[in-house]
Structure 1
Amino acid sequence: MERNYLHEMLPFLTQIEKKRQEQFEIYFHSAPLWVMEALEVENIAAGTIFIHENEPADMIYFVGIGKVKATDYRVSGIAFDFMKPDNVIALGGMEVIMEQGTYKTTVQTETDCVLVKLSRAKYEKWLYSDPETFRLEAKLTCHSLLEEERRNRLYLFLQGADRLALLYVELYEKYNKNGTFYIKESRTSMADETGLCLKSVSRAIRKFSEAGLVTKNGSQLQISKEQYEGLKKIVTDKIDRR
């Protein structure tokens, strides 16, 4: 599919960073015209659940603008956020590859988002008729699952403040700008991502602040490159311990 036509069908691409534009271009470069014409663009507000676990997996979603997260509520109703995709990946594509009729997780928007939608029927037709797209989606899905499994193993063996240190290290590595990262997530969100209670999150933040590993900047927390290195050492010391 020509780049100009893709941008014509998905005009928001002109508003996003070049790296994400290129991810869309790579994913859809072999898409036939009937796939492109079937794409729908939808604006969804922050905090909206658009995929419900165990409901029919009849729609595929791609995140154009914004952030989404997958949440597991199965253990005593406790929320645990375990997936925040950075690459352009087909949400619902795993269910197609696994031949599952229902979604296997709950996904909601963290920020206001622009999502691209494609019906499962058309996605399946495209996926199974285009080996290159099938290989790409399989690769992206396996990479995402591998990273999540690796991350979950780390959280399994880390306790308390060490879990929050790992979260800060991951966020810094992904989103720092010029060596500085401002943490905009709420303490509730941090608790959901680490499996800690709110009191434990607050104690850990106070501990890191007193140790000079984070800086309070009004209502936000700030992490410098030097502070990131200190947080990373906490994590690697625990992980590398025999």
Structure 2
Amino acid sequence: MKHTYLHDVLPFLRELEREKQKQFEAYFRTAPLWLMDLFQSEVMEAGITFIRENEPADTIFFVARGRVKATDYRVSGIAYDFMKPMNLIALGGMEVILGQDTYQTTLQTETECIVTKLPRAQYEKWIYSDTEAFRTEARLTCASLLEEERRNRLYLFLEGADRLAVLFADWFEKYSKNEQLCINESRQNLADETGLCLKSISRAIKKFQADDLITKKGNQIWINEKQYRGLKRTVDEKIGSV
């Protein structure tokens, strides 16, 4: 019954792939109807900053479709990406779990996004009164932070092409379909993801192409299962030597 009501209050769910629908259904499985009645959804264009670091964390956001990026402006005034939530995560939920009154990072839409919002006070009332909901949010928050820290540790020891290999292998594991991954990212986005300069990205792509670890088709990069294993083997060898 609740799944039906969830689709009624969030009609765009019916247009999403089944995996994303399941994420919403699982997250809000125990949510009361009064909370669902508070959902507000909107379509945000790419490039919209909807959460700003140090501003009051009074709204919880869920990205139903599209991608967002988190940016840290504190290092010499340079913006760089350090997180891309891909699964259903309560953006602002970490602040609730940690008891923070202000957002801890800045979030911007990278593509056009469908975003659902809830007032923090009512969201907080729900998860603090629902043990299962609190446990779900704590698990997702910890998993996201652990993944971020894992990548940061790898990048601490790896340089140049090896950082890009980590990123490509990670994306293949998460987003490949039928043993194929298509990467349609600009070199600037790849630089933002890895902390490398554009020249290093270009050199790494040329090296991967020469070693048959990627296939270039126009502006797209394609990776098949065999190439993924080659990238992963390269990364594992480097990690084992540090």
**TM-score, structure 2 length as denominator?**
0.96
Distance 2:224 2:179 in 1: 6
Partner of 2:235: 235
Say whether 1:131 aligns with 2:131: yes
Partner of 1:65: 65
Distance 2:51 2:229 in 1: 37
> Percent identity between the aligned chains?
63
Distance 2:228 2:190 in 1: 17
Partner of 1:188: 188
Partner of 1:21: 21
Moved more, 112-121 or 14-23: 14-23
Quote how far apart the aligned CAs of 1:80 are.
2.4
Counterpart AA for 1:107: L
Quote how far apart the aligned CAs of 1:131 are.
1.6
Residue by residue, what CA displacement relative to the aligned partner does 1:1-53 show, whole Å, maximum 9, x if unpaired?
A: 61110000011111112121111111111111211110101101112211111
Q: How does 1:37-56 map to 2 (within 5 A)?
A: 37-56=37-56
Quote how far apart the aligned CAs of 1:79 are.
2.5
Runs of 4+ in 1 over 4 A off after TM superposition: none
Distance 2:173 2:128 in 1: 36
Quote how far apart the aligned CAs of 1:73 are.
2.0
Partner of 1:177: 177
Q: How does 1:21-170 map to 2 (within 5 A)?
A: 21-170=21-170
Distance 1:29 1:228 in 2: 36
Q: How many residues align?
A: 242
Distance 2:166 2:226 in 1: 15
Distance 2:222 2:132 in 1: 42
Quote how far apart the aligned CAs of 1:57 are.
0.7
Counterpart AA for 2:213: L
Partner of 1:202: 202
SS in structure 2 at match of 1:38: coil
Counterpart AA for 1:178: N
Quote how far apart the aligned CAs of 1:111 are.
1.4
SS in structure 2 at match of 1:104: coil
Quote how far apart the aligned CAs of 1:87 are.
2.0
Counterpart AA for 2:229: E
**TM-score, structure 1 length as denominator?**
0.96
Quote how far apart the aligned CAs of 1:217 are.
0.3
Structure 2 unaligned blocks of 5 or more: none
Quote how far apart the aligned CAs of 1:153 are.
0.5
Q: Over the residues paired in the alignment, what is the CA RMSD in angstroms?
A: 1.2
Counterpart AA for 1:173: E
Partner of 1:7: 7
Structure 1 unaligned blocks of 5 or more: none
